[in-house]
Structure 1
Amino acid sequence: MTDVTLSNVVKKYGPVQVVHGVDLSVAPGEFCVFVGPSGCGKSTLLRMIAGLEETTGGTIRIAGRDVTHTDPAKRGVAMVFQTYALYPHMTVAENMSFGLRMSGTPKAEAAEKIADAARILKLDPYLDRKPKALSGGQRQRVAIGRAIVRGPDVFLFDEPLSNLDAELRVEMRIELARLHKEIGATMIYVTHDQVEAMTLADKIVVLRDGRIEQVGAPMDLYRDPDTRFVAGFIGSPAMNFMTASVVSPTSMSVPALGTTLSPGFALPGNAGTVTVGLRPEAITLDPAGDSHRIELVEALGGVSYAYISAPDGTQMTVEDRGEMRAEAGQRVGLRFDPQHLMGFDAETETRLR
């Protein structure tokens, strides 16, 4: 197992800088996920590790070796892309062995590696088929198998599930988690889907505008975000955000909640506004109240999500798991524990603690 270290890594396209001094350590055997919105630099950063993008500044080390300007083929990495990139005229076995043949690997050794990869990925029945006879999930497993047979130090995945439908994405997430557990390799995975990040990662790196916003274990980021951006990005449905007015050093008024309260975080000394956040599952609908109007109910079986309008016009989402579910058009009150509120500076968006 191999570690990956990035030190003050920078990427520029001419005068435009898209990655700003990234420092990151990925431990041996860790499943690290880069997550963030489109254009945040996550794929660029992954391609820099792979050697497919030139690094403008800083250092990239793999297994202690400085590979910043090393040829991609000599970095000890294998990359799986969003597109399967399989040769349509070759069988599954031939696609998986192509790189081995090009590198002059003996046939017996190549056959053994293909058999091992096929067993891990449950591709044994499909080795003689061509890609057109496979489902999307099976094709992606072939692409992963092609990476496995190379025996890389580090696996790199660039949004490998985004071309699959919802059911196949769930299936492949399970496959990838099982694969990581079985082979124990270091994996770095890029996605814009925070559900994928939460379910797969040992460590999540949240990126924003080419900078690391926060790094941590999935539930650590969920429970203890450092910024409003991380709080809003991690968690599904997203956190509800409201504007609160500071009334005193220990209390604030939250019009969207229809109350004045003392929060569990320090308020700024000067009177003004702060942003407060409350997750949908931390709110309970009160059918005896009438302060909020339900605009839409998304019924998903075991859980429903009520989309409501607050008295000040703020739009909110509330998770509803009760036996008697709310209905659109109904007026309700809200119950919540003030200790579940998170506060963020209105200007810097940093967490108030």
Structure 2
Amino acid sequence: MSGVTLNGAIKRYGDVQVIHGIDLEIEDGEFAVFVGPSGCGKSTLLRMIAGLEETSDGTIRIGQRDVTREDPAERGVAMVFQTYALYPHMTVRENMGFGLRMTGHDKAEIKRKVDAAAEVLQLEKLLDRKPAALSGGQRQRVAIGRAIVRGPEVFLFDEPLSNLDAELRVEMRVEIARLHKEIGATMIYVTHDQVEAMTLADKIVVLRDGRIEQVGAPLDLYRDPDNRFVAGFIGSPSMNFVEARAEGEGFHAPFIDQLLTLPVRKLPEGNKATLGLRPEHLELDHAGSGFTVELTEALGGVSYAYIVSDATGERLIVEERGDERSHTGDKVGLRFDPSRIMAFDAESGLRIR
């Protein structure tokens, strides 16, 4: 297996540049996840690594090899797409072994590799079935098995769970995590779903407009984002953001009409800031006032109260646990630990540390 290194990777379509000088190192055996909103360049970057998109400038290395100009078949990668792309007239065994058959491997070797991959993916009892007789999750496992039998240096996944229902997505997340642990391969995974990113990744790469916003371990990005974009993108529900301004030794926050002293560097007096508060770091005061509950989502062990500030109209989401839960129309107050608040420069979006 091998790691992947990008140095100054650029992608242009004519005069339009969509990937802007990406520098990134993915270690051997690491599970890296590319996340970001639609159009941020995550799939384009994955396809550049695969060789399906030409790299306009910069270099891509797999292990010690510069593969920037190599054909996809020569790069030692295998890709699993959003669509299963299985041959309907072939059995599972034939689908998984098709690539090896096309490259001239003998039947005994193909059988050995397919049987080994089927065992890893728990497909042994399905080898003689055709795709029409499989569930969506089983078909995706076959597509992954087809990649495994090739013995690639790097596995590339392009939103492989998008076509599955919610229950199957959870099941396949577990399957892919187990697969990575079992074979220890380098894997790069593209998704727009930050829950998938948080649960699967060793390293998350957050992209926006063809640039890297931040790279790090899932909990590091969650607890210590560099800017407002990352803070809002990582976490479900999203972080709450409210307006404030630098005043004295802290920030005046109109949404509660209080001066908050935070353990961060002071901005020039009067400068605007944005304060970020995670839903789980807020608590409703049912005897208080200042906010109105617009909606409560009761999900069993946890509820999310959507509240609006009576003073500013700003909306926040508050996580609720325990027996006492809010109801639509309730008048409530808000409690929180100021040390949990993150502050961002209102103009640049950068974290104030």
Q: Note whether the superposition's TM-score is higher than 0.5.
A: yes
Could you tell me how far apart the structure 2 residues matched to 1:81 and 1:257 are? 48
SS of 1:138's equivalent in the other structure is: helix
SS of 1:293's equivalent in the other structure is: strand
Question: Corresponding residue for 2:58?
Answer: 58
Indicate conservation of the 8 Å contact 2:283/2:335, yes or no. Answer: yes
Deviations 1:28-65, CA, capped at 9 Å, x for gaps:
00000000000000000000000000000000000110
* Structure 2 unpaired stretches of 5+: none
Indicate conservation of the 8 Å contact 2:247/2:269, yes or no. Answer: no
Question: Corresponding residue for 1:301?
Answer: 300
Deviations 1:154-199, CA, capped at 9 Å, x for gaps:
0000000001000000000000000000000000000000000000
Return the letter of the residue paired with 1:234.
I
Return the letter of the residue paired with 1:183.
I
2:255 counterpart of 1:260: no
- Quote the sequence identity (%): 69
Return the letter of the residue paired with 2:71.
D
Question: Corresponding residue for 1:333?
Answer: 333
Could you tell me how far apart the structure 1 residues matched to 2:250 and 2:146 are? 59
Indicate conservation of the 8 Å contact 1:264/1:341, yes or no. Answer: no
Could you tell me how far apart the structure 2 residues matched to 1:95 and 1:256 are? 59
TM-superposed CA distance for 1:218, in Å, is: 0.1
SS of 2:20's equivalent in the other structure is: strand
TM-superposed CA distance for 1:79, in Å, is: 0.2
TM-superposed CA distance for 1:224, in Å, is: 0.1
Deviations 1:72-120, CA, capped at 9 Å, x for gaps:
0000000000000000000000000000000011111110100010000
Pairing 1:1-353 to 2, within 5 Å after superposition? 1-248=1-248, 250-311=249-310, 312-353=312-353
Could you tell me how far apart the structure 2 residues matched to 1:313 and 1:46 are? 41
Indicate conservation of the 8 Å contact 1:158/1:191, yes or no. Answer: yes
SS of 2:255's equivalent in the other structure is: helix
Indicate conservation of the 8 Å contact 1:286/1:333, yes or no. Answer: yes
Return the letter of the residue paired with 1:169.
R
Deviations 1:263-319, CA, capped at 9 Å, x for gaps:
121121242210010000000111110110000000000000000001210010000
Deviations 1:111-166, CA, capped at 9 Å, x for gaps:
01000100000001110000000000000000000000000000000000001000
Could you tell me how far apart the structure 1 residues matched to 2:125 and 2:149 are? 18
Could you tell me how far apart the structure 2 residues matched to 1:158 and 1:251 are? 45
- Give the alignment's Cα RMSD to 1 decimal: 0.7
Return the letter of the residue paired with 1:42.
K
TM-superposed CA distance for 1:322, in Å, is: 2.3
Paired residues in the alignment total 352
Return the letter of the residue paired with 1:162.
S
TM-superposed CA distance for 1:247, in Å, is: 1.7
Indicate conservation of the 8 Å contact 1:30/1:203, yes or no. Answer: yes
SS of 1:256's equivalent in the other structure is: coil
Could you tell me how far apart the structure 2 residues matched to 1:210 and 1:261 are? 36
